[in-house]
Structure 1
Amino acid sequence: MKRGVTVTHYRDTHALIRLDYLQDNVNTLYQRVQKPMMAIIKANAYGHGYQEVANVLKDHEHISMFGVATLKEAIDLRKLGIEQDILVLGAIPLKDLDFVIDYDITLTLFSKEYMEEIVELYHHEKPVKVHIKIDTGMNRIGLKTKTEFEDVLRNYPKDIFQIDGVFTHFATADDPLQNDAYENQLNMFYDIVGDHQFRYIHCQNSASMMYHHEEKSNLARIGIAMYGVDPAGEESVHLKQVMSLYSRVVMIKKIKKERK
């Protein structure tokens, strides 16, 4: 029996979301990595409906965390009853820091300056939970060097911050012709982390989970592959497409071939 959600807006075109396929994809990827996973539910769960996706995954045995792009997305998940840790992968406006504490949201700490801004605004009893982001070549937010990383670890106020994790993001894990770049990022990440211990160490995105083998991290981030999309844009034989679009043909015309 098909178990899914049909989304329509009074049009002949509708999307069918197969939530059973979503769970199958989670299980498939877990078999590859054999470690807990963070479900990425940003951008309305990649257009699949964050409420439906979150409700299916909140009790899934292999999903230990949720990841989002914005603070609003994190708060929306909390309001759905999500109890697991929720990591905001991007920067948030620090004027909203009170909501971070109130809703028990985990932030990405990506620079010493950002850390100092949080310290200036902090006035709570509970610490701010964070994962430190290391930029190993994606060139988004993140600390760039081991010196910057060690400086943050040496100077962060322990009564204000609870550092639960450290992570990076690969730029070319889905491109077999860029394997050297992937390996360089991986080696840089672990060189910067060194012997420091964290509750969560995560660098595997969907592409890394599917095309590479990595054992040091203890958490994997499952994003686009969870929805059945191959990160390289290829048709996958391992994943099931969660969303299908259907429409109705309203008219067929016969036209004459143009003569030259």
Structure 2
Amino acid sequence: MRPAHALIDLDALRHNYRFAKSLSKSRAFAVVKANAYGHGAVECAQALADDADAFAVACIEEALQLRAAGIRQPILLLEGWFEASELPLIVEHQLWSVVHHHGQVQELLAAQLGTPLHIWLKLDSGMHRVGFSPAEYAGLWQQLERSQNVASLASMTHFSRADEPETGRTEEQLATFQRVTRDLKGPTSLCNSPGVLAWPQAHGDWLRPGIMLYGATPFEFEQEHAARLKPVMQLQSKVIAVRELPAGEPIGYGSRFITQRPTRVGVVAMGYADGYPRHATDGTPVLVDGQRSQIIGRVSMDMLTLDLTDLPQSGLGSNVRLWGEGLNASEVASHAGTIAYQLFCNLNRVPRRFISSTSSFST
């Protein structure tokens, strides 16, 4: 069998959720949207079922997948519903929903539901993506508060630059949120992963840890709390061929890399069809038998090449870790002009193997 696979450490996932909770007295949504950032939503949710206060997903399809897998905690739809026809399903499966635009408000007020919904009203405090303006927010809150279709109301917003603490933008957004919601009674939720890690004054009643659950830092600098996260995914494969090349020889498509010395080249069963970034530059770090090496040459669909010259003990069959323990995905992402979020979400074709202290299995 082809050796490429992603090893998912569910104990590390539980550690990261519990660590997020330890930073605050708040409750926390475990954000498992986009197939748990590529890690496997059902398996991750089941692993967190004894710990998580609630879960959060992007859309109803993701929520129904969790309900079918036996997840009973509240599940928040972060983008709400896309069509009014979803409202009966939201009622049936006891989902919570964000409301972030006027169309959703009107559909909710006009619906005949029978059972009222738990609604999280989104404030645009400065991200300017979705949500209601500060000027209209209180009026909409009061309108929904009077509706028989609303069981409870909570306020939420989203920080645009919580991972850049020196900019002042998060302080501005927090001040706006506090001013607008000061007289509104209900739970609050403001913090994504960088907010959880770096902005304790903004924690509110509910945290929304996402990328930090999977052990990747949202920061481009060393951060004390982020340093305590454990990587959940190990993307791994093996060396499947070794070439000895003299100086001056090109490697791979486009001849991007030219050997500067006699070079021992390892070929690895991993490529962009697996989700490894095609734009990874020469010098992108990898681990070979636990030792650091680097990519040389352009990443192909099914293979990539790396430098084994200074690793004489490594060769055919050597273990290769593309990211994970000892090599944070954020470092790899920086060499490919992207972010760890995209690396994880782009994972494709490679099987996932789940491990924990209680069991191990594959999908």
TM-score of the aligned structures, taking structure 2 as reference length: 0.64
User: Structure 1: how far apart are the matches of 2:72 and 2:172?
Assistant: 36
Which residue of 1 is the match for residue 180 of structure 2? 192
Conserved? CA contact 1:40–1:221, under 8 Å:
yes
2:209 corresponds to which residue?
222
CA contact (8 A) 1:132 1:163 kept: no
CA–CA separation in structure 2 for the residues paired with 1:26 and 1:36? 11
Q: Distance in 2 between matches of 1:173 and 1:207?
A: 5
Moved more, 148-157 or 16-25: 148-157
Number of corresponding residues: 245
| Secondary structure of the structure 2 residue equivalent to 1:22 | helix
Deviation of the 1:162 alpha carbon: 2.2
User: 3-state SS of the aligned residue for 2:53?
Assistant: strand
Which residue number corresponds to residue 144 of structure 1?
133
Q: Distance in 2 between matches of 1:19 and 1:140?
A: 33
Q: 2:29 aligns with which of 15, 35, 38?
A: 38
Range moving further from structure 2, 127-136 or 180-189 = 127-136
1:171 maps to what in 2?
160
What amino acid does structure 1 have at the position aligned with 2:129?
Answer: R
> Which residue identity lines up with residue 184 of structure 1 in the other structure?
E
Give me the identity figure in percent: 29
C-alpha separation in 2, matches of 1:245 and 1:197? 45
For 2:67, which of 78, 91, 95 is the aligned residue?
Answer: 78
The match for 1:125 among 111, 114, 133 is 114
Structure 2: distance between partners of 1:172 and 1:16: 31
- Return the index of the structure with the highest Cα Rg: 2
Moved over 4 A (4+): 233-236
Deviation at 1:87, TM superposition (A): 0.7
SS in 2 for 1:254: strand
**Structure 1 residues 216, 68: CA separation in 2 closer, same or farther (over 3 Å shift)?**
closer
Q: Which amino acid aligns with 2:92?
A: D
The answer to whether the 8 A contact 1:51-1:80 is kept is: yes
**Residue in structure 1 matched with residue 42 of structure 2 by the alignment:** 51
For residue 113 of structure 1, report the CA deviation from its aligned partner.
Answer: 3.6
2:6 paired residue number: 15
Deviations 1:145-176 (Å, cap 9, x if unpaired)? Answer: 1x311211222242112233111110000113
Q: Structure 1 residue 184: deviation in Å? A: 0.2
Q: Secondary structure at the match of 2:71?
A: coil
- How far apart are 1:234 and its partner, in Å? 5.2
Corresponding residue SS for 1:104: coil
Q: State the alpha-carbon separation in 2 of the partners of residues 134 and 226 from structure 1.
A: 25
In the superposition, the TM-score normalised over structure 1's length comes to: 0.88
Deviation of 1:129 after TM superposition, in Å, equals 2.1
Letter in 1 for 2:211: I
* Alignment match, 1:7: none
Q: Which has the higher helix share?
A: 1
Provide the rounded CA distance (Å) in 1 between the counterparts of 2:237 and 2:221. Answer: 24
Note if contact 1:39-1:221 (Cα within 8 Å) is conserved in structure 2: yes
TM-align CA RMSD: 1.8
